[in-house]
A and B are shown apart, each in its own frame.
Chain A
Amino acid sequence: MTEKQKDNLMIQITGLTKTYSSGNKMVNALNGVDLHINSGMFGLLGPNGAGKTTFMRILAGIVNPSGGSIRVDGHDLTTEAGKHTVKSMLGYLPQELGMYTELTAEQFVDYMAILKGLDDTRKRNKRVTEVLEMVGLRDVAKRKIKGFSGGMKRRVGIAQALVNDPKMLIVDEPTAGLDPEERIRFRNLLVNLAADRVVLLSTHIVEDIGQTCRDLAVLAKGRILFRGSPAEMLKATEGHVWTLTMSGLDKPNHDLTVVSMLHLAEGTQYRLVGSDAREYPNAQPAQPGLEDSYVWLMKQAHQEVEAA
Protein backbone atom coordinates (compact mmCIF):
# COMPACT_ATOMS: atom_id res chain seq x y z
CA MET A 1 0.00 0.00 0.00
CA THR A 2 1.44 3.39 -0.98
CA GLU A 3 1.59 6.41 1.35
CA LYS A 4 -1.03 8.16 -0.77
CA GLN A 5 -3.44 5.24 -0.42
CA LYS A 6 -2.88 5.19 3.33
CA ASP A 7 -3.76 8.89 3.64
CA ASN A 8 -6.88 8.31 1.64
CA LEU A 9 -7.91 5.18 3.51
CA MET A 10 -11.38 5.50 4.92
CA ILE A 11 -12.69 2.08 5.92
CA GLN A 12 -10.55 -0.79 7.22
CA ILE A 13 -12.17 -4.16 7.80
CA THR A 14 -10.22 -7.14 9.09
CA GLY A 15 -11.52 -10.65 9.75
CA LEU A 16 -15.12 -9.47 10.03
CA THR A 17 -17.54 -12.19 11.07
CA LYS A 18 -21.21 -12.19 11.90
CA THR A 19 -23.09 -15.17 13.25
CA TYR A 20 -26.84 -15.30 13.80
CA SER A 21 -28.83 -17.93 15.57
CA SER A 22 -31.72 -19.09 13.46
CA GLY A 23 -33.91 -21.50 15.38
CA ASN A 24 -31.54 -24.03 16.89
CA LYS A 25 -28.72 -23.60 14.39
CA MET A 26 -26.11 -20.92 13.84
CA VAL A 27 -25.88 -19.08 10.52
CA ASN A 28 -22.63 -17.46 9.43
CA ALA A 29 -23.72 -14.34 7.57
CA LEU A 30 -20.14 -13.07 7.22
CA ASN A 31 -17.05 -15.30 7.30
CA GLY A 32 -13.82 -13.38 7.82
CA VAL A 33 -14.26 -10.43 5.48
CA ASP A 34 -11.14 -8.33 4.86
CA LEU A 35 -11.55 -5.07 2.94
CA HIS A 36 -9.92 -1.69 2.62
CA ILE A 37 -12.20 0.89 1.07
CA ASN A 38 -11.11 4.34 -0.07
CA SER A 39 -13.05 7.44 -1.08
CA GLY A 40 -15.13 7.13 -4.22
CA MET A 41 -17.72 4.68 -5.34
CA PHE A 42 -17.41 1.14 -4.03
CA GLY A 43 -19.71 -1.61 -5.24
CA LEU A 44 -20.67 -4.69 -3.28
CA LEU A 45 -22.14 -7.31 -5.54
CA GLY A 46 -23.64 -10.61 -4.55
CA PRO A 47 -26.68 -12.84 -4.78
CA ASN A 48 -29.62 -12.53 -2.40
CA GLY A 49 -28.64 -13.90 0.99
CA ALA A 50 -24.90 -13.32 0.41
CA GLY A 51 -24.57 -11.16 3.53
CA LYS A 52 -24.62 -7.74 1.81
CA THR A 53 -27.31 -6.19 3.98
CA THR A 54 -25.67 -7.52 7.15
CA PHE A 55 -22.39 -6.02 5.98
CA MET A 56 -24.01 -2.66 5.23
CA ARG A 57 -25.81 -2.62 8.57
CA ILE A 58 -22.56 -3.32 10.40
CA LEU A 59 -20.96 -0.40 8.57
CA ALA A 60 -23.94 1.77 9.53
CA GLY A 61 -23.38 0.88 13.20
CA ILE A 62 -26.78 -0.83 13.51
CA VAL A 63 -25.59 -4.43 13.68
CA ASN A 64 -22.75 -5.53 15.95
CA PRO A 65 -20.11 -7.77 14.39
CA SER A 66 -19.44 -11.14 16.05
CA GLY A 67 -15.70 -10.85 15.45
CA GLY A 68 -12.98 -8.96 13.64
CA SER A 69 -12.26 -5.26 13.53
CA ILE A 70 -13.86 -2.47 11.57
CA ARG A 71 -12.65 1.11 11.57
CA VAL A 72 -14.22 4.01 9.70
CA ASP A 73 -11.98 7.05 9.43
CA GLY A 74 -10.07 5.66 12.41
CA HIS A 75 -13.17 5.15 14.60
CA ASP A 76 -13.73 1.68 15.97
CA LEU A 77 -17.23 0.50 15.05
CA THR A 78 -17.19 -2.19 17.71
CA THR A 79 -17.43 0.45 20.47
CA GLU A 80 -20.44 2.62 21.37
CA ALA A 81 -18.35 5.80 21.12
CA GLY A 82 -17.07 4.76 17.69
CA LYS A 83 -20.55 3.96 16.45
CA HIS A 84 -21.86 7.31 17.66
CA THR A 85 -19.10 9.18 15.82
CA VAL A 86 -19.51 7.17 12.62
CA LYS A 87 -23.29 7.72 12.64
CA SER A 88 -22.62 11.46 12.81
CA MET A 89 -20.90 11.30 9.42
CA LEU A 90 -23.19 8.71 7.87
CA GLY A 91 -25.88 8.82 5.24
CA TYR A 92 -27.86 5.60 5.06
CA LEU A 93 -30.46 4.34 2.65
CA PRO A 94 -31.65 0.89 3.76
CA GLN A 95 -32.98 -1.79 1.46
CA GLU A 96 -36.41 -1.69 3.07
CA LEU A 97 -37.06 2.00 3.37
CA GLY A 98 -39.64 2.74 6.04
CA MET A 99 -40.85 6.33 6.25
CA TYR A 100 -43.45 8.46 7.96
CA THR A 101 -45.77 8.65 5.00
CA GLU A 102 -48.10 11.20 6.60
CA LEU A 103 -45.28 13.75 6.47
CA THR A 104 -44.47 15.76 3.38
CA ALA A 105 -41.12 15.12 1.69
CA GLU A 106 -39.83 18.39 3.13
CA GLN A 107 -41.01 17.57 6.66
CA PHE A 108 -39.51 14.08 6.53
CA VAL A 109 -36.10 15.28 5.40
CA ASP A 110 -36.28 18.12 7.93
CA TYR A 111 -37.05 15.66 10.74
CA MET A 112 -34.17 13.38 9.76
CA ALA A 113 -31.91 16.45 9.69
CA ILE A 114 -32.94 17.26 13.27
CA LEU A 115 -32.25 13.68 14.37
CA LYS A 116 -28.83 13.96 12.76
CA GLY A 117 -28.08 17.07 14.80
CA LEU A 118 -28.67 19.97 12.41
CA ASP A 119 -29.99 22.37 15.04
CA ASP A 120 -29.67 25.74 13.28
CA THR A 121 -33.11 26.21 11.68
CA ARG A 122 -31.96 28.58 8.95
CA LYS A 123 -29.05 26.39 7.85
CA ARG A 124 -31.21 23.29 8.08
CA ASN A 125 -34.00 24.73 5.94
CA LYS A 126 -31.42 25.74 3.33
CA ARG A 127 -29.88 22.28 3.33
CA VAL A 128 -33.28 20.53 3.11
CA THR A 129 -34.14 22.65 0.07
CA GLU A 130 -30.73 21.87 -1.47
CA VAL A 131 -31.01 18.10 -1.13
CA LEU A 132 -34.61 18.02 -2.38
CA GLU A 133 -33.43 20.02 -5.38
CA MET A 134 -30.53 17.60 -5.84
CA VAL A 135 -32.88 14.61 -6.08
CA GLY A 136 -35.41 16.46 -8.22
CA LEU A 137 -38.20 16.68 -5.66
CA ARG A 138 -38.25 20.43 -5.07
CA ASP A 139 -41.61 20.87 -6.84
CA VAL A 140 -43.34 18.18 -4.78
CA ALA A 141 -41.65 18.99 -1.48
CA LYS A 142 -44.95 20.00 0.14
CA ARG A 143 -46.73 16.82 -0.90
CA LYS A 144 -47.29 13.92 1.49
CA ILE A 145 -44.99 10.94 0.94
CA LYS A 146 -47.93 8.52 0.89
CA GLY A 147 -48.86 9.81 -2.57
CA PHE A 148 -45.37 9.23 -4.02
CA SER A 149 -44.31 6.50 -6.46
CA GLY A 150 -41.63 3.95 -5.49
CA GLY A 151 -38.96 5.95 -7.32
CA MET A 152 -39.95 9.20 -5.62
CA LYS A 153 -39.86 7.53 -2.21
CA ARG A 154 -36.34 6.27 -2.98
CA ARG A 155 -35.37 9.84 -3.87
CA VAL A 156 -36.75 11.08 -0.56
CA GLY A 157 -34.65 8.32 1.00
CA ILE A 158 -31.49 9.55 -0.68
CA ALA A 159 -32.35 13.16 0.24
CA GLN A 160 -32.56 12.28 3.94
CA ALA A 161 -29.30 10.34 3.62
CA LEU A 162 -27.57 13.39 2.17
CA VAL A 163 -29.03 16.06 4.41
CA ASN A 164 -26.11 15.98 6.87
CA ASP A 165 -23.56 16.07 4.02
CA PRO A 166 -22.18 12.65 5.06
CA LYS A 167 -18.58 11.54 4.58
CA MET A 168 -19.84 8.01 4.10
CA LEU A 169 -22.97 7.18 2.14
CA ILE A 170 -24.37 3.64 2.33
CA VAL A 171 -27.03 2.64 -0.16
CA ASP A 172 -28.42 -0.88 0.01
CA GLU A 173 -30.14 -2.15 -3.16
CA PRO A 174 -31.20 1.39 -4.09
CA THR A 175 -32.44 0.63 -7.59
CA ALA A 176 -34.62 -2.37 -6.75
CA GLY A 177 -38.12 -1.75 -8.09
CA LEU A 178 -37.20 1.37 -10.06
CA ASP A 179 -38.00 1.80 -13.73
CA PRO A 180 -35.04 2.08 -16.19
CA GLU A 181 -35.19 5.87 -16.31
CA GLU A 182 -35.22 6.17 -12.53
CA ARG A 183 -32.34 3.69 -12.28
CA ILE A 184 -30.16 5.68 -14.66
CA ARG A 185 -30.97 8.88 -12.83
CA PHE A 186 -30.18 7.26 -9.50
CA ARG A 187 -26.88 5.81 -10.70
CA ASN A 188 -25.76 9.17 -12.09
CA LEU A 189 -26.65 10.85 -8.83
CA LEU A 190 -24.58 8.35 -6.85
CA VAL A 191 -21.57 8.80 -9.15
CA ASN A 192 -21.77 12.58 -8.68
CA LEU A 193 -21.96 12.18 -4.93
CA ALA A 194 -18.95 9.85 -4.89
CA ALA A 195 -16.70 12.69 -6.05
CA ASP A 196 -16.01 13.81 -2.49
CA ARG A 197 -17.04 10.96 -0.19
CA VAL A 198 -17.21 7.20 0.15
CA VAL A 199 -20.31 5.78 -1.48
CA LEU A 200 -20.98 2.13 -0.74
CA LEU A 201 -23.43 0.61 -3.17
CA SER A 202 -24.77 -2.82 -2.44
CA THR A 203 -26.72 -4.59 -5.16
CA HIS A 204 -27.40 -7.87 -6.89
CA ILE A 205 -27.85 -6.03 -10.20
CA VAL A 206 -24.55 -6.43 -12.08
CA GLU A 207 -25.33 -3.60 -14.48
CA ASP A 208 -25.60 -1.06 -11.65
CA ILE A 209 -22.06 -1.84 -10.50
CA GLY A 210 -20.60 -1.94 -14.01
CA GLN A 211 -21.98 1.50 -14.81
CA THR A 212 -20.84 3.22 -11.64
CA CYS A 213 -17.97 1.63 -9.70
CA ARG A 214 -14.26 1.60 -10.35
CA ASP A 215 -13.76 -0.58 -7.30
CA LEU A 216 -15.89 -3.54 -6.27
CA ALA A 217 -16.11 -6.69 -4.22
CA VAL A 218 -18.19 -9.77 -4.87
CA LEU A 219 -19.67 -11.38 -1.79
CA ALA A 220 -21.22 -14.84 -1.62
CA LYS A 221 -22.04 -16.97 1.40
CA GLY A 222 -20.40 -14.35 3.62
CA ARG A 223 -17.03 -14.51 1.85
CA ILE A 224 -15.31 -12.10 -0.52
CA LEU A 225 -14.88 -13.95 -3.82
CA PHE A 226 -13.34 -11.08 -5.72
CA ARG A 227 -11.91 -7.67 -4.99
CA GLY A 228 -10.74 -5.28 -7.69
CA SER A 229 -11.90 -3.20 -10.61
CA PRO A 230 -14.56 -4.21 -13.16
CA ALA A 231 -11.75 -4.48 -15.74
CA GLU A 232 -9.85 -6.93 -13.51
CA MET A 233 -13.01 -8.94 -13.01
CA LEU A 234 -13.47 -9.14 -16.78
CA LYS A 235 -9.84 -10.15 -17.25
CA ALA A 236 -10.22 -12.99 -14.76
CA THR A 237 -13.04 -14.39 -16.88
CA GLU A 238 -11.20 -14.36 -20.19
CA GLY A 239 -11.20 -17.82 -21.78
CA HIS A 240 -14.31 -18.91 -19.92
CA VAL A 241 -17.04 -17.46 -22.15
CA TRP A 242 -18.31 -18.87 -25.45
CA THR A 243 -21.14 -18.58 -27.88
CA LEU A 244 -22.56 -21.73 -29.39
CA THR A 245 -25.32 -22.14 -31.95
CA MET A 246 -27.21 -25.42 -31.82
CA SER A 247 -30.17 -26.66 -33.76
CA GLY A 248 -32.79 -28.92 -32.31
CA LEU A 249 -34.00 -29.10 -28.76
CA ASP A 250 -30.71 -30.13 -27.11
CA LYS A 251 -29.19 -27.70 -24.69
CA PRO A 252 -25.46 -27.41 -23.95
CA ASN A 253 -24.45 -29.24 -20.80
CA HIS A 254 -21.05 -30.50 -19.51
CA ASP A 255 -20.95 -28.09 -16.58
CA LEU A 256 -21.47 -25.02 -18.72
CA THR A 257 -23.85 -22.34 -17.52
CA VAL A 258 -26.18 -20.78 -20.07
CA VAL A 259 -26.05 -17.04 -19.44
CA SER A 260 -28.37 -16.10 -22.28
CA MET A 261 -30.20 -17.61 -25.24
CA LEU A 262 -31.13 -16.12 -28.59
CA HIS A 263 -33.40 -17.82 -31.11
CA LEU A 264 -31.99 -17.40 -34.67
CA ALA A 265 -33.01 -18.82 -38.04
CA GLU A 266 -30.17 -21.38 -37.95
CA GLY A 267 -30.92 -22.53 -34.40
CA THR A 268 -30.53 -21.28 -30.85
CA GLN A 269 -27.47 -19.26 -29.92
CA TYR A 270 -26.29 -19.85 -26.37
CA ARG A 271 -23.88 -17.74 -24.35
CA LEU A 272 -21.95 -20.10 -22.12
CA VAL A 273 -19.72 -19.72 -19.09
CA GLY A 274 -17.60 -22.52 -17.68
CA SER A 275 -14.13 -23.93 -17.20
CA ASP A 276 -13.86 -25.37 -20.71
CA ALA A 277 -15.98 -26.05 -23.77
CA ARG A 278 -13.93 -28.77 -25.46
CA GLU A 279 -17.04 -30.97 -25.70
CA TYR A 280 -18.35 -28.40 -28.19
CA PRO A 281 -15.83 -27.84 -31.01
CA ASN A 282 -18.13 -25.28 -32.63
CA ALA A 283 -18.17 -23.06 -29.55
CA GLN A 284 -16.68 -19.65 -30.31
CA PRO A 285 -14.71 -17.83 -27.59
CA ALA A 286 -16.45 -14.56 -26.63
CA GLN A 287 -15.42 -11.36 -24.94
CA PRO A 288 -16.68 -11.57 -21.35
CA GLY A 289 -19.12 -9.04 -19.96
CA LEU A 290 -19.48 -8.21 -16.28
CA GLU A 291 -22.48 -10.48 -15.99
CA ASP A 292 -20.42 -13.38 -17.40
CA SER A 293 -17.70 -12.60 -14.86
CA TYR A 294 -20.20 -12.63 -12.06
CA VAL A 295 -21.60 -15.98 -13.17
CA TRP A 296 -18.07 -17.39 -13.46
CA LEU A 297 -17.22 -16.25 -9.93
CA MET A 298 -20.42 -17.75 -8.55
CA LYS A 299 -19.76 -20.95 -10.42
CA GLN A 300 -16.27 -21.21 -8.97
CA ALA A 301 -17.56 -20.49 -5.49
CA HIS A 302 -20.20 -23.19 -5.84
CA GLN A 303 -17.58 -25.70 -6.97
CA GLU A 304 -15.43 -24.83 -3.97
CA VAL A 305 -18.33 -25.50 -1.67
CA GLU A 306 -19.06 -28.81 -3.40
CA ALA A 307 -15.42 -29.85 -3.28
CA ALA A 308 -15.33 -29.08 0.43
Chain B
Amino acid sequence: MKRFSLKYALLTYRLDQLWFPLAFWAFFVILTLLLNDQEINFDIARGYIGVATPLIGGVMAAYAILDDPAIELRFATPIRAAQILFERISLIFFIQAVNALAFIVFALFIGVDFAPLGNILNLHLSWIVPTIAMIALGTFGAILGAQTMIGSFLVGLVWIIQIIIRDAMTFNNWKYAYVFMGILNPRHPDLVSNQIALFAASAAFLFLTWLLLHRQERYI
Protein backbone atom coordinates (compact mmCIF):
# COMPACT_ATOMS: atom_id res chain seq x y z
CA MET B 1 0.00 0.00 0.00
CA LYS B 2 1.52 3.31 -1.04
CA ARG B 3 -0.60 5.58 1.21
CA PHE B 4 0.71 8.56 -0.72
CA SER B 5 -0.71 10.98 -3.27
CA LEU B 6 1.44 13.64 -4.90
CA LYS B 7 -1.73 15.45 -5.97
CA TYR B 8 -2.93 15.85 -2.38
CA ALA B 9 0.56 16.46 -1.02
CA LEU B 10 0.63 19.50 -3.31
CA LEU B 11 -3.00 20.51 -2.76
CA THR B 12 -2.57 20.48 1.02
CA TYR B 13 0.74 22.33 0.84
CA ARG B 14 0.45 25.82 2.25
CA LEU B 15 0.76 28.42 -0.46
CA ASP B 16 2.76 30.82 1.69
CA GLN B 17 5.49 28.19 1.71
CA LEU B 18 5.70 28.67 -2.06
CA TRP B 19 5.48 32.46 -2.02
CA PHE B 20 8.10 32.84 0.71
CA PRO B 21 11.01 31.25 -1.22
CA LEU B 22 9.76 32.71 -4.48
CA ALA B 23 9.90 36.20 -2.96
CA PHE B 24 13.54 35.63 -1.97
CA TRP B 25 14.30 34.33 -5.45
CA ALA B 26 12.72 37.38 -7.07
CA PHE B 27 14.56 39.70 -4.68
CA PHE B 28 17.96 38.24 -5.59
CA VAL B 29 17.14 38.31 -9.31
CA ILE B 30 16.10 41.96 -9.13
CA LEU B 31 19.21 42.78 -7.07
CA THR B 32 21.42 41.13 -9.69
CA LEU B 33 19.75 42.98 -12.54
CA LEU B 34 19.94 46.32 -10.73
CA LEU B 35 23.62 46.07 -9.74
CA ASN B 36 24.63 44.32 -12.98
CA ASP B 37 28.33 43.92 -12.21
CA GLN B 38 30.06 40.62 -13.08
CA GLU B 39 32.02 40.38 -9.82
CA ILE B 40 29.09 41.37 -7.62
CA ASN B 41 26.79 39.10 -9.62
CA PHE B 42 28.91 36.11 -8.62
CA ASP B 43 28.69 37.08 -4.93
CA ILE B 44 24.93 37.57 -5.20
CA ALA B 45 24.54 34.23 -6.96
CA ARG B 46 26.55 32.28 -4.40
CA GLY B 47 24.86 34.23 -1.62
CA TYR B 48 21.49 33.10 -2.90
CA ILE B 49 22.22 29.46 -3.68
CA GLY B 50 24.58 28.66 -0.80
CA VAL B 51 23.50 31.01 1.99
CA ALA B 52 19.88 32.14 1.48
CA THR B 53 18.56 28.82 0.12
CA PRO B 54 19.69 26.80 3.19
CA LEU B 55 18.11 29.38 5.51
CA ILE B 56 14.79 29.34 3.68
CA GLY B 57 14.85 25.53 3.53
CA GLY B 58 15.60 25.25 7.24
CA VAL B 59 12.87 27.67 8.28
CA MET B 60 10.30 26.00 6.02
CA ALA B 61 11.30 22.57 7.29
CA ALA B 62 10.60 23.68 10.86
CA TYR B 63 6.96 24.14 9.81
CA ALA B 64 6.74 21.14 7.50
CA ILE B 65 5.40 18.49 9.86
CA LEU B 66 3.79 20.31 12.75
CA ASP B 67 2.05 23.03 10.78
CA ASP B 68 -0.56 20.56 9.56
CA PRO B 69 -4.21 21.28 10.45
CA ALA B 70 -5.14 17.60 10.13
CA ILE B 71 -2.17 16.26 12.07
CA GLU B 72 -4.32 14.32 14.57
CA LEU B 73 -6.26 12.64 11.75
CA ARG B 74 -2.99 11.86 9.97
CA PHE B 75 -1.57 10.30 13.15
CA ALA B 76 -4.66 8.09 13.43
CA THR B 77 -3.94 6.55 10.01
CA PRO B 78 -1.49 3.67 9.61
CA ILE B 79 1.14 5.75 7.78
CA ARG B 80 4.62 5.33 9.22
CA ALA B 81 6.67 8.08 10.86
CA ALA B 82 9.32 7.70 8.13
CA GLN B 83 6.74 8.40 5.43
CA ILE B 84 5.44 11.52 7.18
CA LEU B 85 9.03 12.77 7.52
CA PHE B 86 10.08 11.93 3.97
CA GLU B 87 6.88 13.21 2.36
CA ARG B 88 7.08 16.56 4.08
CA ILE B 89 10.77 17.41 3.87
CA SER B 90 11.33 16.08 0.36
CA LEU B 91 8.80 18.63 -0.86
CA ILE B 92 10.67 21.41 0.97
CA PHE B 93 13.95 20.26 -0.56
CA PHE B 94 12.35 20.00 -4.00
CA ILE B 95 11.18 23.62 -3.84
CA GLN B 96 14.65 24.79 -2.75
CA ALA B 97 16.26 22.74 -5.50
CA VAL B 98 13.99 24.19 -8.19
CA ASN B 99 14.72 27.72 -6.96
CA ALA B 100 18.49 27.16 -6.71
CA LEU B 101 18.69 25.52 -10.14
CA ALA B 102 16.54 28.25 -11.68
CA PHE B 103 18.85 30.86 -10.19
CA ILE B 104 21.95 29.07 -11.47
CA VAL B 105 20.42 28.99 -14.97
CA PHE B 106 19.55 32.69 -14.68
CA ALA B 107 23.09 33.51 -13.44
CA LEU B 108 24.70 31.54 -16.26
CA PHE B 109 22.39 33.30 -18.71
CA ILE B 110 23.62 36.75 -17.60
CA GLY B 111 27.23 35.58 -17.73
CA VAL B 112 28.09 34.65 -14.13
CA ASP B 113 31.14 32.39 -14.00
CA PHE B 114 30.87 29.72 -11.28
CA ALA B 115 34.41 28.43 -11.91
CA PRO B 116 35.71 29.70 -8.51
CA LEU B 117 33.41 27.12 -6.86
CA GLY B 118 35.09 24.26 -8.72
CA ASN B 119 33.55 21.73 -11.09
CA ILE B 120 29.83 21.14 -11.61
CA LEU B 121 29.67 18.62 -8.75
CA ASN B 122 31.28 21.09 -6.35
CA LEU B 123 28.93 23.84 -7.53
CA HIS B 124 25.87 21.75 -6.72
CA LEU B 125 27.26 20.30 -3.48
CA SER B 126 27.86 23.88 -2.33
CA TRP B 127 24.10 24.45 -2.01
CA ILE B 128 22.79 20.90 -1.62
CA VAL B 129 24.88 20.06 1.49
CA PRO B 130 24.02 23.19 3.52
CA THR B 131 20.38 23.07 2.41
CA ILE B 132 19.98 19.46 3.57
CA ALA B 133 21.82 20.29 6.80
CA MET B 134 19.54 23.22 7.58
CA ILE B 135 16.41 21.29 6.62
CA ALA B 136 17.46 18.47 8.96
CA LEU B 137 18.26 20.94 11.74
CA GLY B 138 14.97 22.82 11.32
CA THR B 139 12.91 19.62 11.33
CA PHE B 140 14.78 18.21 14.31
CA GLY B 141 14.52 21.43 16.33
CA ALA B 142 10.78 21.68 15.73
CA ILE B 143 10.12 18.04 16.60
CA LEU B 144 12.42 18.06 19.62
CA GLY B 145 10.77 21.14 21.06
CA ALA B 146 7.33 20.15 19.70
CA GLN B 147 7.06 23.72 18.40
CA THR B 148 7.67 25.06 14.92
CA MET B 149 9.20 28.23 16.34
CA ILE B 150 12.00 26.33 18.07
CA GLY B 151 13.08 24.76 14.77
CA SER B 152 13.11 28.05 12.89
CA PHE B 153 14.86 29.80 15.80
CA LEU B 154 17.56 27.12 15.86
CA VAL B 155 18.09 27.44 12.11
CA GLY B 156 18.26 31.23 12.31
CA LEU B 157 20.66 31.09 15.25
CA VAL B 158 23.08 28.66 13.60
CA TRP B 159 22.86 30.59 10.33
CA ILE B 160 23.58 34.03 11.81
CA ILE B 161 26.36 32.80 14.13
CA GLN B 162 28.10 30.98 11.31
CA ILE B 163 27.84 34.02 9.04
CA ILE B 164 29.27 36.31 11.72
CA ILE B 165 32.17 34.06 12.73
CA ARG B 166 32.67 32.52 9.29
CA ASP B 167 36.44 33.08 9.29
CA ALA B 168 36.85 31.47 12.72
CA MET B 169 34.69 28.54 11.55
CA THR B 170 37.34 27.52 9.02
CA PHE B 171 39.89 26.72 11.74
CA ASN B 172 39.99 24.05 14.48
CA ASN B 173 37.33 21.33 14.73
CA TRP B 174 34.42 23.72 14.07
CA LYS B 175 35.38 23.52 10.41
CA TYR B 176 33.49 20.21 10.17
CA ALA B 177 30.28 21.92 11.24
CA TYR B 178 30.76 24.95 9.02
CA VAL B 179 27.68 24.97 6.83
CA PHE B 180 28.92 27.52 4.29
CA MET B 181 32.36 26.11 3.56
CA GLY B 182 31.43 24.83 0.10
CA ILE B 183 30.15 28.22 -1.03
CA LEU B 184 32.40 30.66 0.88
CA ASN B 185 35.64 28.66 1.14
CA PRO B 186 35.50 26.33 -1.86
CA ARG B 187 39.26 25.76 -1.87
CA HIS B 188 39.50 24.76 1.80
CA PRO B 189 41.62 21.60 2.12
CA ASP B 190 39.04 19.97 4.41
CA LEU B 191 36.03 20.66 2.21
CA VAL B 192 35.33 16.99 1.49
CA SER B 193 35.58 16.08 5.19
CA ASN B 194 33.32 19.04 5.99
CA GLN B 195 30.69 17.89 3.51
CA ILE B 196 30.84 14.30 4.74
CA ALA B 197 30.49 15.52 8.34
CA LEU B 198 27.51 17.71 7.41
CA PHE B 199 25.84 14.81 5.60
CA ALA B 200 26.41 12.59 8.62
CA ALA B 201 25.02 15.26 10.97
CA SER B 202 21.98 15.70 8.71
CA ALA B 203 21.39 11.94 8.70
CA ALA B 204 21.71 11.87 12.49
CA PHE B 205 19.24 14.74 12.91
CA LEU B 206 16.75 13.06 10.59
CA PHE B 207 17.16 9.74 12.38
CA LEU B 208 16.50 11.40 15.73
CA THR B 209 13.52 13.21 14.23
CA TRP B 210 12.16 9.89 13.01
CA LEU B 211 12.56 8.40 16.50
CA LEU B 212 10.86 11.39 18.12
CA LEU B 213 8.00 11.27 15.62
CA HIS B 214 6.90 7.97 17.13
CA ARG B 215 5.79 9.90 20.22
CA GLN B 216 2.83 11.39 18.39
CA GLU B 217 1.14 12.64 21.56
CA ARG B 218 3.76 15.40 21.84
CA TYR B 219 2.57 17.04 18.63
CA ILE B 220 -1.22 17.16 18.97
Contact = CB atoms under 8 A, between A and B. Distances in A.
A64 interface: yes
B218 to A, nearest CB: 10
A87 B75 CA distance: 9
Nearest to A92: B76
A99 B69 contact: yes
Range class of the B interface residue count: 20 to 34
Given A96-B72, A117-B78, A160-B73, A80 B214 contact: yes
A88 B3 contact: no
B90 interface: no
Interface string A43-75: 000000000000001001111100000000000
B76 A87 contact: yes
B168 interface: no
A84 B12 contact: no
A78 to B, nearest CB: 13
A101 B4 contact: no
Nearest to B1: A117
Closest 8 A/B residue pairs (Cβ): A98-B69, A117-B1, A92-B76, A63-B217, A87-B78, A111-B8, A115-B77, A100-B12
Nearest to B5: A114
Contact of B4 (A63, A96, A103, A114): A114
Contact of A100 (B70, B215, B216, B220): B70
Interface of B, helix, strand, loop or mixed by DSSP: loop
A62 B72 contact: yes
Contacts, number: 76
Contacts of A90: 76
Contacts of B68: 98
Contact of A112 (B1, B77, B214): B77
Interface in A77-128: 80, 84-85, 87-88, 90, 92, 94, 96-103, 107, 110-112, 114-117, 119
Given A62-B216, A117-B78, A107 B11 contact: yes
Highest count of chain A CB atoms <10 Å: which of B75, B78, B80, B220: B78
A281 B77 CA distance: 59
A99 B12 CA distance: 10
Contacts of A100: 11-12, 69-70
B217 A102 contact: no
Contacts of B215: 64
A97 B1 CA distance: 26
Interface in B70-107: 70-80
Interface string A135-175: 00000000000000000000000001000000000000000
Interface in B192-220: 214-217, 220
Contact of A116 (B3, B11, B12): B3
Contacts of A85: 78
Contacts of A64: 215, 217
